[in-house]
A and B are shown apart, each in its own frame.
Chain A
Amino acid sequence: MAQAPASSSAPPLEIRRLSKEYRRGVPVLREVSLTVTPRSITAVIGPSGTGKSTLIRCVNRLVEPTSGEILFHGVDVTRLKRRELRATRRRIGMVFQEYNLVERLSVMENVLSGRLGYVSAFKAWLRRYPQRDIDAAFELLDTVGLTRYANQRADALSGGQRQRVGIARAIMQEPELLLADEPTSSLDPKTSVEIMETMVRLAESRGIPVIVNIHNVPLARRFATHILGMSGGRIVYDGAPGQLTDEHLKQIYGGEDWLE
């Protein structure tokens, strides 16, 4: 791993009373607290617009939290200065709903962009990455089965292929935490399962804890070791997938007609 954790006893991620208001007086997150244990897969389920995306984006501060603490290996991310924040972002990988690949760059360039936190702008411009990074990128492309697409432009790929590039880019960072924001929502059911399998397999083999936003409850149950249910900006369920009952789902999503 690139950097030693600041405190080896602290959990990878602990969030305390995190709130976010985009507009004053309209909280999207209301004092959310949670703990991510090492090597765990945490699925965050809940209806659209309940703050799942905001929660995950607060962790690497793509969204600025309004109040609360986000302890990444014991260090409060919310207090970091720009340079420290960049150094922390390097240690947190992210997978996006719409893949967010740089469309006009090749698959290889997209995977290598996971190393941009470590490469100077001049070297990045000339594509002069360390050989070690290039070898690692090829290995990852082998793992996700995209080696023969290495030199194709990202916009030539199908959705499932793009998301595998997105996952490879995130793993390329050698992260200590992986955030996934609805990684399968734009994909068909079969591809969704394949993507979840790929992501969980890669994370588990490297001991990376994962937080994944997902509104597909069966997928969450199948892959997660831990489930958080969100509703109205609050966590209303925090427990094992096996203990998640229809009663809980009713509380999370509201109503019950959709359950049968």
Chain B
Amino acid sequence: MSSGAATARPTAFRPSWVARAGWLVFLAYVIYAASVLDFTWDRFVVGLEQGARFVARMFPPDTSPDKMKLMARGLYESLEIAIIASALGIVLSLPIGLLAARNLMPAWVTWPTRLFIALCRSFHQVIIAIVFVKAVGFGALAGILALTVASIGFVAKLFAEAIEEISLKQVEAIRATGASFMNVVVYGVMPQVLTRFVGFATYQVDSNLRNSTMVGIVGAGGIGGTMFAAFQKFDYDFLLTILLAIIAMIMLSEALQNRVKRLFQ
């Protein structure tokens, strides 16, 4: 009996031939696509030479007072766009995320809310920015609106997911005290998701900072416009000044974020 059972044992780790075939197909496609796009070593070496010339022309960075003033103004506008868009996006994400949480809300509420969030996430910020530039005209307003929409798409979605993972035991206890729905949210739900929400929000601020330097390329305000102009005028030394300034801003924001996160544990 026991020897019979031993021979009937299955293999410990069953190979999946479908998965292996899948990997093979994937590899074959990558090689094919690279050849179609002329993605070759020679092409890369030629490109490197050109790149070296481009980098050489960036030095030394242009720090003349009028250029510095131009850069500062652009950077400051980007910062404003990022902060206003983050504030709006995060504040709007709270109720929207709550309405999208399937463990607290009925399907007829979550369904349209989820559709709205998906819509906000569908397009890249630059594409949304182009739409808003056409809708409300050139300038920072278009950038703010574009990044607000993008923020809702990200923060509200993750916030809804965080709420769906909470412990319902704590919620049940608060409900049992006769608390209203809003009190259940304030006491039973929010404390469980607050740290994660702060995490999403600070990440979004960081993301908005970077994106606010880009929406200017399509005319939605901020340093992106200045940068794009420098590109087109072959003003590569000024370009380097702008790039260094952006790097400094991002690093500063990162340090600040860590402080904020530590504050909320």
Contact residues of B between 156 and 188, Cβ < 8 Å to A: 167, 169-170, 172-180, 182-183, 185-188
Asked whether B173 lies within 8 Å of A121 as measured between CB atoms, the reply is no
Say yes or no: A103-B178 contact (C-beta < 8 A), given A121-B186, A124-B187.
no
CB distance from A164 to the nearest CB of B (A): 15
Contacts of B170 in A (CB 8 A): 100-103
Asked whether B177 lies within 8 Å of A90 as measured between CB atoms, the reply is yes
Interface residue A203 (Cβ < 8 Å from any Cβ of B): no
B188 touches which of A62, A88, A89, A102 (Cβ 8 Å) = A102
Interface residue A98 (Cβ < 8 Å from any Cβ of B): yes
How many pairs of A and B residues are in contact by the CB < 8 Å rule? 84
CA distance A117 to B187 in the complex (A): 12
Asked whether B191 lies within 8 Å of A116 as measured between CB atoms, the reply is no
Asked whether A89 lies within 8 Å of B178 as measured between CB atoms, the reply is yes
A97-118: CB near B (< 8 Å → 1, else 0) gives 0101111110001000111110
Category for how many chain B residues contact A: 20 to 34
Q: Which B residue's beta carbon lies closest to that of A118?
A: B178
Interface residue A230 (Cβ < 8 Å from any Cβ of B): no
Asked whether B194 lies within 8 Å of A124 as measured between CB atoms, the reply is no
Contacts of A86 in B (CB 8 A): 178-180
Interface residue A119 (Cβ < 8 Å from any Cβ of B): yes
Interface residue A173 (Cβ < 8 Å from any Cβ of B): yes
Asked whether B186 lies within 8 Å of A102 as measured between CB atoms, the reply is no
CA distance A116 to B170 in the complex (A): 14
Contacts of A92 in B (CB 8 A): 176, 178
Interface residue A169 (Cβ < 8 Å from any Cβ of B): yes
CB distance from B213 to the nearest CB of A (A): 36
Q: Which B residue's beta carbon lies closest to that of A85?
A: B178
Say yes or no: A116-B179 contact (C-beta < 8 A), given A102-B191, A103-B192.
yes
